[in-house]
């Protein structure tokens, strides 16, 4: 798959490989047939990211796959039949970003686990490794609050706590799933939505910000456009996201199912 991300994480899809999934012409209402074939979708991108006042070049990989997940333990279960009352079907996104600052590499990974029924988040974990040290963060989503854990090599940054789960709130890391419209369009053409937004794990890490809600406006363009990336040319729907912290980005979503992220 080829894709390019938003301005706060700018990427251009350079190679796309669909591993054992059904034809992209499959209907959107065939989510279960498409995503439960025991295989994964792999998407490779070129990456541009601002760090230390300069734009850095790198690579990004997105891996989407479904798997059985434990409600109580928040981990993949070995046998989904062993405790069905505690097991739900999760769609997982592993987003790997690797880039160099000119002196040393950053190697980061965000894992997003959502309920495949409605794409509501269950857990988000994040790791960052570079020459200074390592960081790990985790957010576990309940019905009313989010349990947050943060381990850092910087003094006074590590913490455990809870923040409210804002009613109707959107998690930035989950935009890579929500905007694909895998069970139906997130917005109708030309529509906009004002939401409370929880910033991404990588942005809070790189800017040393505490996890806190902000606001965002999500807009879907009228009609479709044609986007060309190294993987080819695609008809896309464009979503624009304007965040209250000043960032603005866009997502070019493939018009045909499975609505891959092209740019």
Collapsing DSSP states into helix, strand and coil, what is residue 37?
Answer: coil
- Copy the structure tokens of residue 237: 């729907």
Note the pLDDT tens digit of each residue in 139-178. 999 999 999 999 998 888 888 999 999 888 999 999 999 9
Other residues' Cβ atoms within 10 Å of the Cβ of residue 254 = 23
Residue 145 lies in a domain: yes
Residue 133: exposure state from Cβ atoms within 10 A (0-12, 13-18, ≥19): exposed
Domain enclosing residue 54, as ranges: 10-254
Q: Is residue 131 part of a domain?
A: yes
Residue 37 has pLDDT above 70, yes or no: yes
Q: Specify the pTM.
A: 0.88
pLDDT band, residue 25 (cuts 50/70/90): very low
| In-domain check, residue 74 | yes
Total number of domains in the chain: 1
In a domain, 215, yes or no: yes
104: which DSSP letter? S
* pLDDT (0 to 100) of residue 28: 43
Determine, yes or no, domain membership for 136: yes
Question: Whole-angstrom distance between the N-terminal and C-terminal Cα of the chain?
Answer: 10
Least confident window among 44-53, 59-68, 224-233: 44-53
Quick check: is 4 in a domain? no
Residue 206, in any domain of the structure: yes
- Is residue 38 within 8 A of residue 60, CB to CB? The reply is no
Residue 52 pLDDT level (bands cut at 50, 70, 90) = confident
DSSP bridge partners of 43: 16, 62
User: Residue 232 corresponds to which tokens in the numbers above?
Assistant: 């080819």
3 within some domain: no
């Amino acid at each position: 798959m080829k894709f390019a991300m938003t301005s706060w994480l700018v990427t251009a899809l350079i190679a796309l490989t669909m591993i054992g999934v059904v034809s992209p012409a499959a209907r959107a209402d065939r989510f279960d047939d498409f995503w439960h074939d025991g295989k994964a979708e792999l998407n490779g991108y070129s990456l541009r990211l601002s760090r230390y006042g300069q734009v850095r070049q790198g690579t990004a990989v997105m891996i989407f796959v479904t798997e059985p997940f434990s409600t109580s333990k928040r981990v993949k279960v070995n046998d989904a039949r062993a405790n069905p009352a505690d097991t739900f079907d999760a769609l997982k996104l592993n987003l790997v970003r690797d880039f160099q600052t000119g002196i040393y590499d950053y190697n980061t990974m965000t894992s997003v686990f959502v309920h495949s029924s409605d794409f509501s988040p269950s857990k988000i974990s994040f790791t960052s490794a570079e020459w200074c040290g390592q960081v790990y963060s985790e957010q576990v989503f309940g019905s009313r609050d989010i349990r947050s854990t943060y381990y850092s090599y910087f003094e006074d940054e590590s913490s455990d706590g809870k923040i409210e789960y804002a009613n109707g709130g959107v998690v930035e890391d989950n935009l890579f799933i929500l905007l694909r419209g895998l069970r139906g369009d997130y917005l109708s053409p030309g529509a906009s939505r004002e939401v409370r937004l929880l910033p991404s794990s990588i942005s809070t890490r790189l800017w040393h910000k505490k996890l806190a809600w902000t606001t965002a406006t999500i807009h879907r363009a009228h009609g479709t456009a044609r986007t060309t990336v190294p993987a080819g040319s695609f008809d896309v729907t464009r979503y624009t996201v304007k965040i209250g912290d000043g960032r603005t980005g866009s997502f070019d979503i493939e018009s045909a199912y499975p609505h891959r992220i092209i740019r």
